[in-house]
């Protein structure tokens, strides 16, 4: 399994537009074959910065998503709203302390 982290920085006047758009597409991405789930984080101090955090079965499934109609609908819509070039990382877990500590 791999984890994909993507940092997106939007123009301040486009952040809410992105969040509204995200509500319309989040399930299409989250339920894409090979995706084990996705989260969207919003920076506390700079709310125009958001990060997607998703788990994928393998790089192959992530690549399939990036070539899909879903991605083809999402990326061209949000790309003009960026303030800075997106940054992305594909990582594997070296240590996961979350599994040992479940909130009460």
Task: Extract the tokens encoding 83.
Answer: 């303030």
pLDDT tens per residue across span 49-68: 999 999 999 999 999 999 99
Beta partners for residue 87, in sequence order: 7
pLDDT at 101 over 80: no
Q: Write b or e for each residue in 42-61: b if 16 or more Cβ atoms lie within 10 A of its Cβ, otherwise e.
A: eeeeeebbbbbebbbeeeeb
| This prediction's pTM | 0.89
pLDDT tens digits, one per residue of 10-20: 999 999 999 99
Residue 2 near residue 56, CB atoms below 8 Å: yes
Architecture of domain 2-91: 2-Layer Sandwich (3.30)
Q: Which of 22, 95, 88 is nearest to 59 (CA)?
A: 88
Dist. CA 82–CA 60, nearest whole Å? 27
Confidence category of residue 78, pLDDT binned at 50, 70, 90:
very high
> Distance between CA atoms of 92 and 3, rounded to whole angstroms?
6
Quick one: tokens of 67? Answer: 């070539």
Q: Is the dihedral of CA 88, 90, 92, 98 positive or negative?
A: positive
At residue 104, the pLDDT reads 62
């Amino acid at each position: 399994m791999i984890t994909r982290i993507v940092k997106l920085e939007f123009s301040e006047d486009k952040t809410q537009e992105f969040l509204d758009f995200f509500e319309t597409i989040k399930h299409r991405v989250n339920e894409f074959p090979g995706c084990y789930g996705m989260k969207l984080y919003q920076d506390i101090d700079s709310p125009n910065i958001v990060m997607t955090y998703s788990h994928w079965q393998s790089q192959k499934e992530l690549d399939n998503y990036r070539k899909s109609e879903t991605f083809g609908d999402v990326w061209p819509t949000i790309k003009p709203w960026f303030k800075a070039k997106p940054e992305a990382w594909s990582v594997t877990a070296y240590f996961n302390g979350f599994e040992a500590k479940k909130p009460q």
